[in-house]
């Protein structure tokens, strides 16, 4: 296992590949934002469906549990290989974004559910007493109260999704990890590409996590 342990780092090479990696980082970010947008919408849809009649809520719950109990990688493969068989041909990037969005939409539906339930019964009853219709009850009373405390959780999931984008490399999306793989196999220098990718992730996710923590603290204080 150990030949000779040495520390190798070629700074010149690292700086040379950095621009390429940063461009790939941009692809990664786009995938994250796209996936997150889809997840936010699907999450809400799932959460609302689960409040419906049993004939709708049970299949929804089943889908959510199924998506959450199976690996994202396998779900990506399914979308990538099986969709074309039914005539749906999308780019790898779009397929990946949809896969990401579906998977985390299932998780976000749980966040929505908790947030909505957190809005006390009394609010619903006050809305009825004031004769609000169902739609306005949601848009003017329930959602505005449910959403702010959910923000830190959303922030967390955004960061999680950002760190999961490398899975898209398995379906040939050229994001950060795939770019590092390409550089590595071209030059046989694996250290600099993979280390830089790791550092880029760290440099982006760590400050983001600090911001989310700050948000969380602010909401914890408010709740008191």
- Contact positions vs another protein (CB under 8 A): 1-8, 65-66, 68-75, 77-78, 81-82, 85, 163-167, 169-170, 176-177, 180-181, 184, 189-191, 194-195, 197-198, 201-202, 205-206, 209
Nearer to another protein, 40 or 167 (CB): 167
Report the nearest approach of another protein to the CB of residue 173 (Å).
Answer: 13
φ and ψ of 128, to 5 deg: -65, -45
Report the nearest approach of another protein to the CB of residue 190 (Å).
Answer: 4
Report the nearest approach of another protein to the CB of residue 80 (Å).
Answer: 10
Nearer to another protein, 180 or 215 (CB): 180
φ and ψ of 153, to 5 deg: -65, -40
Nearer to another protein, 127 or 212 (CB): 212
Nearer to another protein, 132 or 184 (CB): 184
State how far the Cα of 40 lies from the Cα of 22, in Å rounded to an integer.
27
Helical axes 191-223 vs 11-50, angle rounded to 10°:
40
């Amino acid at each position: 296992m150990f030949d000779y342990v040495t520390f190798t780092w070629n700074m010149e090479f690292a700086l040379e590949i950095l621009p390429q990696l940063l461009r790939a980082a941009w692809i990664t970010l786009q995938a994250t934002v796209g996936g997150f947008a889809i997840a936010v919408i699907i999450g809400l849809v799932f959460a609302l469906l689960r409040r419906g009649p049993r004939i709708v809520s049970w299949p929804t719950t089943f889908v959510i549990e199924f998506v959450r109990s199976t690996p994202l990688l396998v779900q990506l493969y399914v979308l990538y290989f099986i969709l074309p068989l039914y005539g749906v041909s999308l780019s790898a990037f779009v397929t990946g974004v949809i896969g990401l969005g579906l998977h985390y939409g299932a998780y976000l539906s749980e966040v929505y559910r908790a947030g909505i339930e957190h809005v006390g019964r009394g609010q619903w009853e006050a809305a009825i007493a004031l004769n609000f219709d169902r739609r306005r009850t949601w848009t003017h009373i329930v959602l505005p109260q449910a959403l702010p405390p959910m923000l830190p959780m959303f922030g967390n999931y955004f960061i999680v999704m950002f760190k999961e984008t490398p899975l898209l490399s398995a379906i040939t999306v050229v994001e950060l990890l795939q770019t590092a793989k390409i550089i590595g196999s071209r030059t046989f220098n694996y250290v600099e590409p993979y280390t830089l990718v790791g550092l880029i992730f760290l440099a982006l996710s760590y400050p983001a996590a600090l911001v989310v923590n700050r948000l969380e603290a602010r909401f914890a204080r408010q709740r008191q």
